[in-house]
Structure 1
Amino acid sequence: MTTPLPERAGRRCHNVLNSIAATLYFSPDLGRELAAVGIEDSNAAYFATRAAAMGAVGPGTVTATFYNFRHDLIAEHVPAVWRTASPETVLAARTRAVDATLRRLLGDDVVASKEVAEAAELALRAAEACGRSARPLYAAHADLPVPDAPHLALYHAATLLREHRGDGHLAVLLDAELDPVEALVSHTATGRGMTPKWALGTRGWSRGDWEAAVVRLRERGLLDAEGELNDAGTALRKDIEARTDRLDRAPYEHLGAAGVERLTELAKELLMTAFAAGAFPEGMIGKG
């Protein structure tokens, strides 16, 4: 009989793996590799890197699957970016950037360690239970081959689990009737999302868009006069995460309680090493 997972164990495991996957998007190695194939704009680089697994898709597909980016920002770069570098070229550059990023953040000894190999095996085992239906970003990445090198396989598995949860999360946001900017504002208000400066600087929305979303959330009874989550807003965000947990439970139930605990432990050690090496910019997370 499978041991039941402790409450939120899957979410905690995902959060660590998600952070490992996210290191790529703040890495100078990614910018260097994409510049080498002609993609120098940082927005174009992000859209291409994350969307390439879906092929040479148009801006509508990227907007639908990324959710909280302004469509006009995406349309400035997609599909034009595919005329600069094909999805296959971008994927190859991404693999080179992942290799360089993990070696720089973790060190060659850690990259070659048995712990990284064990973490990769566990994460891939969890991903075996992910489902493709109604999960376009996950399904596209699931069609990619698993790299042979353990550190690249770990990154691949972390990406699968990241996108699997993310696809489900978008369905929950839609059901909660939070539009892209409202989702950003309410997440920032929890203190665990990007600061308004980072959200506006990367997602393409204006300060006016942000303030209008604050007004809508206040009128809906989710924010107080200071723009903080009230009891109803806090309850909604907690419910969103709980419902996302339910949609994302399969991979972690498949791995089992002991496997999830071990994968979380291994991934935390790797993430702390990456943090110490400066994997993420300061001041990105919070309300300020």
Structure 2
Amino acid sequence: MTTPSPLPSLLSAGRRCQQALEAVHVFTYFTPETVREFAAFGVEDGHTRYFAERSAAMGRVGAGTVTAAFHVFKYELVARHVPAVWERVAPEEAVAARLRACDAALRRMLGEEVVSAPETAEAAELALRAAEAGERASRPLFAAQADQPVPDAPHLALWHAATLLREHRGGGHLAALAGAGLDPVEALVSHAADGDRGSLTRRLLRTRGWSAEELEEGARRLRERGLLAADGALTAAGAALRRDVEEATDRLDAGPWERLGADGTARLTELAGDLARRIAAAGGSPTGSPRRAEDAREG
């Protein structure tokens, strides 16, 4: 009798771990500390700040590179902010500002006792070990973040590792979307139609630069493929395709969790989950729920 492969269950465990770690990463896009850091450079527009913050590790890149790496933003929206933002804040300054904001925000939200707790250091060690198994190929945001030095402070090392793991899974997710034949608009529309994802996902449709007509055209293409019903909900085929995308993403993201193993993944999920709940309680999650924070990563 052959022994069943543990890989499917490990991939599911990795996805759950990533959901917890997402909240440890994503708060930087919403926290007032980040707003203040970038305002000091004269960067006050939300889109400008987001593009600078997330892409800075790649260097002084242009709109084309950011559009390709971020996937679901319309090029014309990106081009209104990049590369002009680098005249206000250099990429290396943006990287440093992001880390300073992260430090201040985590100390505020978690408190010094949690920031310096041995469990935080343990979570950082586990997350870094997982991230070491990430693949740079076809993942420009992960590869650029991997070139950054690991911060000495455990809570910042954890954030760095959570960012690496987030961008690693995100890079695989984009490949899975492309493999499913979903262009940026179709990815957004089908994601918003995939269950009750709340106001955050609906906001994504309004903030990625696409017009109402372009979004409706994307919905029409999905309906023609039998993926979207007339009422805007996914059909059975559409729901199956979105499940296939997530399962393909899991497979492309397998390396970190295989490196960590089942026990290490479970322990990191436990530790990150506790921190995610604390961050959400302090207002650091865009949705108030660490499990819903993953919706921010579509594309």
Do these two structures clear the TM 0.5 threshold for a shared fold by scoring above it? yes
- Equivalent of residue 104 in structure 1, options 104, 108, 112: 108
SS at match of 1:14: helix
Q: Aligned equivalents of 2:242 and 2:121: distance in 1?
A: 35
Structure 1 partner of 2:268:
263
Give the conservation status (yes or no) of the 8 Å contact 1:188–1:195. no
Residues 103-142 of structure 1: per-residue CA shift (max 9 Å, x gap) = 1221121111111111000000001111111111110100
Residue segments in structure 1 that go unaligned for 5+ positions in a row = none
Superposed, which structure 2 residues align to 1:58-77 within 5 Å? 58-77=62-81
Structure 2 partner of 1:245:
250
Residue 187, structure 1, aligned to residue 191, structure 2: yes
Identity of aligned residues (%): 60
Residues 216-235 of structure 1: per-residue CA shift (max 9 Å, x gap) = 11111001111111110011
Structure 2 partner of 1:152:
156
Give the conservation status (yes or no) of the 8 Å contact 1:188–1:194. no
Paired residue type of 1:254? R
Structure 2 partner of 1:79:
83
CA deviation after TM superposition for structure 1 residue 281, in Å: 3.9
Residue segments in structure 2 that go unaligned for 5+ positions in a row = none
Paired residue type of 1:39? V
Q: Aligned equivalents of 1:16 and 1:45: distance in 2?
A: 24
Residues 231-269 of structure 1: per-residue CA shift (max 9 Å, x gap) = 100110000000111010000010010000000000000
SS at match of 1:107: helix
Of stretches 144-153 and 197-206 in structure 1, the one that deviates more from structure 2 is 197-206
Aligned length: 284
Residue 113, structure 1, aligned to residue 113, structure 2: no
Structure 2 partner of 1:223:
228
Paired residue type of 2:252? L
TM-score normalised by length of structure 2? 0.91
SS at match of 2:80: helix
CA deviation after TM superposition for structure 1 residue 283, in Å: 8.7
Structure 1 partner of 2:27:
23
- Equivalent of residue 61 in structure 2, options 53, 57, 80: 57
Of stretches 205-214 and 215-224 in structure 1, the one that deviates more from structure 2 is 205-214
Structure 2 partner of 1:203:
208
CA deviation after TM superposition for structure 1 residue 102, in Å: 1.0
Q: Aligned equivalents of 2:277 and 2:80: distance in 1?
A: 36
Structure 2 partner of 1:46:
50
SS at match of 1:184: helix
Give the aligned CA root-mean-square deviation in angstroms.
Answer: 1.8
CA deviation after TM superposition for structure 1 residue 202, in Å: 2.2
Paired residue type of 1:231? A
Residue 273, structure 1, aligned to residue 275, structure 2: no
Structure 2 partner of 1:136:
140
Residues 88-113 of structure 1: per-residue CA shift (max 9 Å, x gap) = 11011001110111112211211111
- Equivalent of residue 232 in structure 1, options 218, 233, 237: 237
